[in-house]
């Protein structure tokens, strides 16, 4: 009888030991997984901070090919004495089908791509003509002087100046089709950037908006 009871106690003790080990192992795996997840999150945050830090630098030789709507980029363009410097944010991209504020599109374009941007002057003074020079959608350049025809007046004067401390939000349009597209600035002696825009991100332009 004593031997039988002793055997039962040994079996119970072994079960308890085994269960305790499994619980410990599971807890260790869970903690390891949590630590790995936190490390990955930290690495992603560090990478994003590094990318943002790079975009905060003014450099005529800098290239930023992976921008999206909402991103801000620091732009430097070679000037007479020192580089023109300003910040540009692409707030949204819109489409005017067939015409824009009464001005018709041609048969090849079908409509107008309208970009809503914010410019912040850092200095020295820079004209809108220089800001939009070498700025394209798929190789076709924006021209401020065409904007008055489209009744878009914010950036319609290429000689108007963006001074240090100025912050201006407005729209500029280009006759084009509604599709996936890239809004970019490319050329020599200027920061090069490219905003990739999916067709699903393009909103409808509301007539009259500046």
**What is the distance between the alpha carbons of residues 181 and 195, in angstroms, rounded to a whole number?**
8
Question: Smallest Cα–Cα separation from 95: which of 117, 110, 73?
Answer: 110
Give the fold, CATH level 3, of 56-204.
Immunoglobulin-like (2.60.40)
For residue 115, the Cα-to-chain-centroid distance in whole angstroms is 14
What's the pLDDT tens digit per position in 146-162? 999 999 999 999 999 99
The CB-side HSE value for 33 (13 A sphere, CA atoms) comes to 6
The CB-side HSE value for 197 (13 A sphere, CA atoms) comes to 27
Decide: 73 and 117 in contact? Cβ < 8 Å: no
Backbone angles phi, psi at 206, to 5 degrees: -95, 120
∠ CA 65-183-94, rounded to 5° = 140
pTM over 0.85: no
What's the pLDDT tens digit per position in 52-86? 555 678 899 999 999 999 999 999 999 878 899 99
Higher per-residue pLDDT: 12 or 113: 113
Mean per-residue pLDDT for 137-153?
95
Contacts of 69 (CB under 8 A, 6+ apart): 90, 91, 92, 93, 195, 197, 201
What's the pLDDT tens digit per position in 8-29? 433 434 434 554 445 555 555 5
**What is the distance between the alpha carbons of residues 203 and 83, in angstroms, rounded to a whole number?**
34
Count of CB atoms situated within 10 Å of the CB of 115 = 22
The tokens for 42 are 């930290």
Buried b (16+ CB within 10 A) or exposed e, 4-13: eeeeeeeeee
């Amino acid at each position: 009888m004593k031997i039988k009871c002793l055997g039962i106690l040994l079996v119970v003790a072994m079960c308890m030991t085994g269960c305790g080990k499994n619980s410990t192992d599971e807890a260790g795996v869970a903690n390891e997984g949590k630590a790995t997840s936190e490390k990955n999150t930290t690495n992603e945050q560090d990478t994003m901070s590094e990318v943002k830090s790079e975009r905060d630098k003014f450099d005529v030789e800098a290239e930023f090919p992976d921008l999206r709507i909402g991103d801000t980029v620091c732009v430097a363009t070679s000037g007479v004495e020192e580089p023109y410097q300003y910040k540009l944010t692409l707030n949204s991209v819109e489409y005017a089908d067939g015409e824009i504020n009464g001005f018709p599109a041609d048969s090849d374009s079908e409509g107008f791509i309208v970009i809503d941007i914010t410019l912040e002057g850092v200095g020295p003074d820079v004209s809108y003509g220089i800001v939009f020079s070498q700025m394209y959608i798929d190789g076709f350049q924006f021209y401020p002087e065409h904007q008055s025809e489209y009744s878009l007046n914010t950036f319609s004067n290429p000689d108007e100046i963006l001074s240090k401390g100025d912050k201006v939000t407005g729209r500029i349009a280009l006759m084009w089709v509604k599709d996936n597209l890239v809004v970019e600035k490319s050329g020599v002696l200027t920061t090069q950037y490219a905003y990739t825009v999916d067709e699903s991100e393009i909103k409808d332009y509301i007539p009259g908006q500046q």
